[in-house]
């Protein structure tokens, strides 16, 4: 009897022990809810990060450029013609102003403006510089790169399509009768000129002011001037997202080739030691490679990006005019020798 009663009591006790499943089911459901919620928040955060960096990449590809506010006649009483032509690639269109020299001339300067500006590039200031070279009896071509055009806008490509637009500008002035063509570039327009020079022998000389050649590090450093971002993951994200807007990756650019080429033409490079957009050491390295006897340079202590002419106008003109006279004399000698 005692054994049976004990067994019955044990069975009754076991009958009242809660099943583990009764307690764990609510915990498991709450856990799933929290995991889903955290996953959603994480995904939302990742999407925000991608969208933010995608916007930065879009802004780089399509920078704000102020509209034209004047023209050569209004600004400097210089007669001009509106001109348009397709880029050498045929993918984009180019619009600009052609200003004939005061007397018949076969010498032309093609100005190549910088990033975030148009053909007027007011901070250079371009009209003032145009007037100065016009008095030296040069024809002048001022044009907008695609990203600055209000008529046929195109994204920035770091020099790839811009070089094709510059090559078309060179072809245009050749058709006008130019036999001596100087490309005068500023910032990314200077870097574009170097990349274009890899594809043609129609350029007789380059004048390069504050040369900017696009690469991931330099580009990211310029972005950080406007918004403080961590190098990781921002730099690789921007680098990966930029081709979505530009159609061009850094691997397609010829910036590195331009940095390492000794060009068979005279190049005069000007750069400031306080340039916070294009490191001076890049210009120094490119200049050091050049072997043409007329090549040279001017490193301006304390000089800032694209402000060399504005701060030192007379020395700037003296140096560039001397370089142009040497190039012209050299071209005349070559033609005479032929």
For the chain, what are the domain ranges? 62-214+253-337
234, 49 contact by CB (below 8 A): no
221, 240 contact by CB (below 8 A): no
Condensed to tens digits (0 to 9), the pLDDT of residues 156-211 reads 999 999 999 999 999 999 999 999 999 999 999 999 999 999 999 999 999 999 99
Of 10-19, 177-186, 282-291, 295-304, give the lowest mean pLDDT range: 10-19
114, 189 contact by CB (below 8 A): yes
What would the mean pLDDT of 303-318 be, rounded to a whole number? 98
CA distance 293 to 327: 10
Condensed to tens digits (0 to 9), the pLDDT of residues 5-32 reads 554 554 555 454 555 554 555 558 888 8
pTM score of the predicted model = 0.88
Condensed to tens digits (0 to 9), the pLDDT of residues 48-58 reads 999 999 999 99
For residue 109, is pLDDT > 50?
A: yes
Q: For residue 278, give both structure tokens.
A: 């294009």
CATH superfamily membership of 62-214+253-337? Alpha/Beta hydrolase fold, catalytic domain (3.40.50.1820)
97, 83 contact by CB (below 8 A): yes
What would the mean pLDDT of 60-81 be, rounded to a whole number? 97
Q: For residue 160, give both structure tokens.
A: 């790839």
Q: Which residue has the higher pLDDT, 29 or 121?
A: 121
């Amino acid at each position: 009897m005692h054994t049976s009663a004990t067994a019955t009591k044990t069975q009754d006790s076991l009958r009242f022990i809660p099943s583990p499943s009764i307690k764990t089911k609510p915990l498991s459901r709450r856990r799933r809810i929290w995991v889903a919620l955290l996953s959603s928040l994480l995904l939302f955060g990742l999407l925000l990060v991608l969208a933010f960096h995608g916007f930065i990449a879009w802004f780089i590809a399509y920078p704000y450029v102020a509209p034209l506010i004047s023209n050569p006649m209004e600004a400097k009483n210089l007669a001009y013609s509106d001109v348009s032509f397709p880029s050498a690639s045929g993918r984009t269109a180019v619009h600009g102003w052609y200003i004939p020299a005061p007397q018949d001339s076969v010498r032309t300067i093609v100005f190549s403006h910088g990033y975030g500006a148009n053909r007027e590039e007011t901070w250079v200031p371009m009209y003032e510089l145009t007037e100065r070279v016009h008095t030296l009896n040069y024809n002048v071509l001022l044009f907008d790169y695609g990203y600055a055009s209000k008529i046929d806008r195109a994204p920035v490509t770091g020099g790839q399509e811009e070089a094709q637009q510059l090559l078309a500008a060179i072809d245009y002035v050749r058709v006008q009768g130019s036999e001596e063509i100087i490309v005068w570039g500023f910032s990314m327009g200077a870097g574009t000129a170097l990349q274009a020079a890899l594809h043609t022998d129609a350029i007789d000389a380059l004048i390069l002011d504050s040369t900017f050649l696009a690469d991931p590090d330099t580009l990211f450093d310029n972005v950080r001037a406007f918004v403080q971002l961590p190098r990781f993951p921002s730099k690789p994200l921007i680098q990966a997202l930029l081709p979505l807007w530009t159609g061009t990756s850094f691997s397609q650019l010829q910036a590195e080739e331009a940095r390492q080429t000794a060009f068979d033409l005279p190049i005069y490079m000007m750069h400031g030691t306080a340039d916070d957009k294009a490191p001076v050491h890049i210009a120094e390295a490119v200049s050091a490679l050049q072997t043409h006897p007329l090549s040279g340079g001017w490193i301006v202590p304390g000089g800032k990006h694209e402000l060399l002419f504005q701060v030192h106008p007379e020395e700037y003109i003296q140096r560039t005019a001397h370089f142009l006279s040497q190039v012209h004399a050299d071209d005349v000698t070559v033609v005479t020798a032929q």
